[in-house]
Amino acid sequence: MDSLLNFSNAELHYDHVHALRGVSLNINEGETVALIGANGAGKTSILRAITGLHPISSGQVHYKGERIDGMPPHKLVEMGIAMVPEGRRVFPFMSVKDNLLMGAFSRSDSKQEVKATLDSVLTRFPRLKERYKQAAGTLSGGEQQMMVIGRALMAKPTLLLLDEPSLGIAPKLVQDIARSIVAINRDEKVSVLLVEQNSRMALRISHRAYAMTTGEVVLQGDSKDLLQDDRVKALYLGGEI
């Protein structure tokens, strides 16, 4: 398998906070990779570094063999990296339709092709069709989450970064969202980096996983092995059923 994204030896700072301390991880084409870890471990920081929202202070990031650290977010979207940010970040006063169309903002292909993607997103998430003209801020948390995943898919990404899609969502809907992530990875050949605190769900639907504590990757391996790993059980799966 070819490497799609390679994140090597990256350090990242916020003013005085040293958030990433030499983190390396790799995503191969077609894979779903989970990234688990407690609050403040640095998961979101990795995603911010990949999308160019925050610069790394040392290390390198390669995507499709090209060095991408230092590139601005809009370039990276054009290259096929889409992100669903933590806390959903819908455009609250825009309709579901306009939110989805914003997802296609960076695309340079024809209107018809954008329309085709829009139709496929609406087929994947029929709830969005019912709420099509409604302001996104009035949707339920679960519906918003589906919408922002749809919004990211509108960019026709090669790599999809998901930051805690299960956060604050009813258990029943978490199941639905987990299923859609599997389906997206399988049907659309999109590679996925899934950041989750719901480690059990993340490990069940991913091929491989990395576990972090305070700025460092401490464990990595195949997800099915990690699910059985005693250290993982103790650190990341305890208490959650």
Partner 1 sequence: MEQVIANGLYLGAQYALIALGLTLIFALMNVLNFAHGQMYVLGGFVTYVIYGQLGLPFVVALIASAITLAAVGALIEIYLFRPVIRKSHREESTMLLAAAIAFFLDAVILLLFGEKQRGVPKILDGVLNWDFRIIMPYDRIAIGVLAILIIAAFILYMQYSKTGRAMRALAQDRVAAQLMGVQVDRYSMIGFAIGAMLAGVVGGLLVTITGVNSGIGGPISIKAFMMVMIGGAGVVSGAIAGGFILGMAESVGLTVFSGYGDVTYLIIFASLMVFLAIRPQGLMGKPWG
Residue ranges binding partner 1 (CB under 8 A): 51, 53, 72-74, 77-78, 82-83, 85, 89-94, 98, 101-103, 105-106, 135, 151, 155
Among 40, 59, 73, 85, binds ligand ATP (CB under 6 A): 40
Q: Which does 222 bind (CB under 5 to 8 A by kind): Mg ion, ligand ATP, partner 1, none?
A: none
The residue type at 39: N
Site string for ligand ATP, 72-91 (x = CB under 6 A): --------------x-----
Vertex 149, ends 112 and 74: CA angle to 5°?
Answer: 70
Site string for Mg ion, 63-92 (x = CB under 5 A): -----------------------x------
Q: Which residue has the tokens 């899934």?
A: 194
Which one of the spans 35-43, 109-117, 121-129, 138-146 is the region binding ligand ATP (CB under 6 A)? 35-43
Per the CB < 8 A criterion, the answer to whether 181 and 192 are in contact is yes
- Which of 1, 9, 17, 183 binds ligand ATP (CB under 6 A)? It is 17
The whole-angstrom separation of Cα 130 and Cα 206 is 30
Q: How far apart are CA 233 and CA 236, in angstroms?
A: 6
Return the residue of 27, 33, 37, 154 that touches ligand ATP, per CB under 6 A: 37
- What are the structure tokens assigned to 144, written together? 């918003």
Number of other residues whose CB lies within 10 A of the CB of residue 2: 8
* Structure-block tokens of residue 19: 């958030």
Stretch that binds ligand ATP, among 3-11, 42-50, 121-129, 221-229 (CB under 6 A): 42-50
Residues 167-226 that bind ligand ATP (CB under 6 A): 197
CB 174 within 8 A of CB 64: no
Give, in degrees to the nearest 5, the angle at Cα 56 between 55 and 59: 145
CA-wise closest residue to 25 among 3, 44, 52, 54: 3
Q: What residue ranges bind Mg ion (CB under 5 A)?
A: 44, 86
Residues at the interface with ligand ATP (CB under 6 A):
14-15, 17, 19, 37, 39-45, 86, 197
